[in-house]
Copies of this chain bind each other. A is one copy, B any other.
């Protein structure tokens, strides 16, 4: 097993000496940096960085790191968060009827590709239960009835709290979440079956077919109150031709969706994605 590391994601106004001060903070306490990457968005006047260092040999006990760092963070006017490589995030997957993204994530989890525990799958249908339960994962069937949205979401939020979930992955969950849910839930990543911002809303493959595009795409993004408009984490595309009907677009799109969603989830779980405004920096 790899020795534990800590990783800070930080954004602050552009100013001289930030790298030196951050690196100096760590070096003076025996922190050995194993990865650092930064980016300056000159248009926004922001410095954005990710620094990872080994906890072995670092003088501060884990609980004191945020306390010790806070004054420097404040001086820099920074927003920041720290994550530890040996703290395994807990993920809940939301699905409807389509299984391709769910099965793909479960397979990657079993194959050790995802730095996560998956204690919970939530669905508004009861069709995927056996595929989930045979992995030893709880399957919560939370039907969505007309007029019961608020109740449904309350129940989902309780499930997330009970399972101490850090990340919700919408793996083809065909329901729109309320602003209230988004505000109270942990981070939510969604896979949208188009090359956003083309074809927002419903039935994007039908829209793509009607428009006669030669390339289709998929987009993984953080969910925000504005539908299909949250910060993009990852996108990919595939070529299609006039020979492809809507059914072919859907089938080829599934291959895109599961790969794009898995990449985005994996990047986020490894603390590689920094959000600022409606944009992401992906320290890949």
User: A residues touching B (Cβ–Cβ < 8 Å)?
Assistant: 16-24, 26-28, 30, 32-43, 48, 51, 57, 99-100, 103, 107, 111, 113, 134, 195-199, 210-215, 217, 231-237, 239, 241-243, 245-246, 251, 255, 259, 262, 278-282, 284
Contacts and interface: CB of A to CB of B under 8 A. Distances in A.
Given A37-B38, A196-B211, 20 more contacts: A19-B19, A19-B23, A20-B27, A20-B33, A23-B24, A24-B24, A34-B40, A41-B242, A43-B246, A48-B242, A196-B198, A196-B213, A214-B232, A214-B234, A214-B282, A215-B236, A241-B282, A242-B282, A243-B284, A259-B259
How many copies of this protein are present in the complex?
4
Contacts of A42: 245
Nearest to A26: B20
Contacts of A281: 242
B16 A30 contact: yes
B242 A215 contact: no
B280 A242 contact: yes
Contact of A36 (B21, B36, B197, B262): B36
A35 B40 contact: yes
B213 A232 contact: yes
A151 B233 CA distance: 49
A78 B111 CA distance: 39
Nearest to A210: B278
A215 B214 contact: no
Contacts of A237: 215, 237
10 contacts: A19-B27, A20-B26, A21-B27, A22-B23, A35-B40, A36-B38, A39-B242, A212-B279, A214-B233, A242-B280
